[in-house]
Amino acid sequence: MDDEERTYTNGEITVIWQPKECNHSRICFEKATGLPEVFDPKARPWINMNGATTAKIIAQVNKCPTNALSYFFNSEDDRDDTMKETDREPVKETIVQVMRNGPLIIYGNIKIKDADGIETRKTTGTAFCRCGSSKTNPYCDGTHYEVGFKE
């Protein structure tokens, strides 16, 4: 699969998937955390925009820890002000989640300082590498799949 951005629409919203940003956290399709009726990596296309309501799809897209998934309303008329745009509100409580055989995801409003003191702010979810193989340390880049990380 190439790294080209893909779009999927149900006529109301368009979901954008950026493969380069995806760290394969599995959050979008695992039964406990995801919406498998819409997100199924074994299906083609892997996003079925008819699998759930727009509100459910938006709620799931907003859980993406790396912003590989985002969306926009096709028309201002479709917009429901109770729904949040991809510019998400910061999570109020910081949550640290260990993904099986994958990254450590921190949900919340955090500031990351690199070794040179350069700061980056994250306000939604950030995936940190646990396998030690990421080429974008400290962030997960999905390499844990290639190296068969188990833990």
- Spatial distance between the Cα atoms of 72 and 70, rounded to a whole number of angstroms: 7
Which of 10, 62, 126, 134 forms a contact with ligand FES (CB under 6 A)?
Answer: 134
Is the peptide bond prior to 138 cis by the omega test (within 30 degrees of 0)? yes
Measured distance CA(96)–CA(107) in Å, rounded: 6
According to the binding rule CB under 6 A, does residue 106 interact with ligand FES? Answer: no
Does 65 engage in binding with ligand FES (CB under 6 A)? no
Name which position in 38, 68, 102, 126 contacts ligand FES (CB under 6 A).
102
Q: Does 79 bind ligand FES (CB under 6 A)?
A: no
CB of 28 to ligand FES, least distance (A): 16
Interface of this chain with ligand FES, residues 18 to 47, rule: CB under 6 A: 23
Among 103, 105, 124, 126, binds ligand FES (CB under 6 A): 103
Q: Contact residues for ligand FES (CB under 6 A)? A: 23, 102-103, 129-131, 133-134, 140-144
